[in-house]
Amino acid sequence: MSDIVLSMKGVEKVFGAFRALGPVDLDLRAGERLGIIGPNGSGKTTLINCITGVYRPDKGSVHFEGRDISHIEAHRRARLGISRSFQIPRPFTGMTVLENLLVPLDYCHVDGSREERARSVLSSVGLAGRVSDPSESLSQLELRKLELARALVGNPKVLIADEAMAGLSEEEIDEVLAILLALNRSGVAVIMIEHIMHAVMRFSERIVCFETGRLIASGTSTEIAENPLVQKVYFGE
């Protein structure tokens, strides 16, 4: 199918004797909202590390827009349009909020001025008032927003949001969800990895569940909620 933007086939990652992931087959359609759930240590983070290039998979392949990217470096994947936010925000400390966004802009093509692009993205996530503040001075919610702004400033085709809402209040979760939905409406496929179940359920068109490195279930929010395997993982027998 031509609208598959990201495709994983038989991806496996092994650390010593520990199989952290796989084999996993997973496709992402252009503009899709995919939720990934699963307990801690189920392989979610390993999966996105294999997609973004932090790890090279031991077996299998990752294709992006039809091109095999399994062996190319992380920064090249970022430039191709695979972007991510980190579970624990990693702002570029020692720089202002604006400069944080200029870093990815140094390495990608945008129409018009880089600084204007950075400012418009910052105002779209609600950080317009913080543009020239040092990134160390941001609150937890603002750090999450900066993390997202930095990930989407280079016009990615896929955004991976790794627990972008952990530790936020209900209103703050709504704010982050609104940002992600607006981004998705502009055509960006979003992979949401999240423990906050009601947020994933509301957001995702499709949800997959991981357990001990394997994909155990896939379906809509309702299908996943009713899936006995998923229930077993989350609620025991």
Partner 1 sequence: MSRNSALFLIGVAVVVALGFLMPWVLKNPFYFFAGYVVLQYVTIATGWNILGGYAGYINFGAAGFFGAGVYLSAFLFTTFGLPLPLCILAAAVFGAILGVLMGYLTLRIQGVYFAIATLGLVVVLETIVHNISALGGASGMAVYGPRPPSWSPGPSQYNFTVMLVIAAVSVALARFVEISWIGRGLRAVRASEDAAECSGVPTLRLKLLACALSGAVLAAAGAPYPFYTSFVEPVTAFSLIIGLNAIAMPLIGGTKSWAGPVLGALLLASVQQIATVTISSELNILFVGLVLIAFVAFAPGGIADLFGRRQGRARS
Pick 9 or 79: Cβ nearer partner 1: 79
- Between CA 13 and CA 22 the distance in angstroms is 7
Chain residues binding partner 1 by CB under 8 A are 52-54, 73-75, 78-79, 83-84, 86, 90-95, 99, 102-104, 106-108, 150-151, 154
The smaller minimum CB distance to partner 1, of residues 37 and 152, is found at 152
Taking the complex as a whole, how short is the minimal distance between the CB of residue 150 and partner 1, in angstroms?
Answer: 6
Closer CB to partner 1, residue 92 or residue 234? 92
Shortest reach from residue 140's CB to partner 1, in Å: 17
Closest approach, Cβ 233 to partner 1, in A, equals 28
Place of tokens 């979003």: 190
**CB 231, min distance to partner 1, A:** 34
Tell me the two tokens of residue 93: 């400390």
Work out the burial of residue 5: count CB atoms within 10 Å of its CB; fewer than 13 is exposed, 13-18 middle, 19 or more buried: buried
Whole-angstrom Cα distance, residue 93 to residue 47?
27
How far, in Å, CA of 125 to CA of 86, rounded? Answer: 17
Q: Which is nearer to partner 1, 78 or 122 (CB)?
A: 78
- By the 10 Å C-beta count (0-12 exposed, 13-18 middle, 19+ buried), 96 is classed as middle
- Shortest spacing between CB 100 and partner 1, in angstroms: 8
**Closer residue to partner 1 in complex, CB, 83/221:** 83
Closest of 101, 87, 90, 60 to residue 194, by C-alpha: 87
